[in-house]
Amino acid sequence: MSEDFKLDATARNDLGKGASRRLRRLANQVPAVIYGGNVAPASVSVSHNELMKHLEHEAFYSHIISLNVDGTAQDVILKDVQRHPSKPVVLHLDFLRIDKSTKVHTHVPLHFINEAISKGVKIQGGKVVHNLTQLDVICFPHQLPEFIEVDLANAETGTIIHISDLKLPSGVVSADLQKGADHDLAVATLVKPKGAAEGEEA
């Protein structure tokens, strides 16, 4: 895992939708809440400009963030981002406090590799359907991977890659598989080209 991200925040007491709109419009700040642990939820705000720079990095969504609230830093992970439906504006954030000695349940992006050179695509003319784009995982904060690779090099048409087929980093487990084998979801499916008849394969 790469170096933790750092983000400055300011505690806020002026709550409600009206106060949030004023924050965004007048101060270019994004309202946020920090929850979790044995501490009461706290309302804060962060700079929209600073936040947008961090959101350009995929790792920001799954890494530990050192959130500096009025000079006091605390470790959090980003749990939810509410965006404007038509403008490049973030409306609200949810941060989860973490303890580096306690496992966290969060999601990590999936990176699909060797898709174009796989037998099913390059030779058989198939198409890869991404059933999942991120994976829910459970691990200690220091074990959080930046992403998880899904290698499609050997995939043929008709292949379905499930969560159990993925190679997860040491200490990282799938939250879905912890629920049982019937939660072994499809991650990617290599479908046959349109118009291909069953008899053609035979």
pLDDT-derived band at 12 (thresholds 50, 70, 90) equals: confident
Q: What length is written for the chain?
A: 202
User: 60-100: per-residue pLDDT in tens?
Assistant: 988 899 999 999 999 999 999 999 899 888 999 999 999 98
CA dist 100 and 102 (Å) reads 6
Asked whether 51 and 90 are in contact (CB, 8 A), the reply is yes
**Mean pLDDT, all residues of the chain:** 88
Strand order in the sheet with 160-162: 127-130, 186-191, 160-162
Give the SS3 label for residue 111: strand
The H-or-E segment that residue 92 falls in is strand 90-97
The pLDDT of residue 2 is: 46
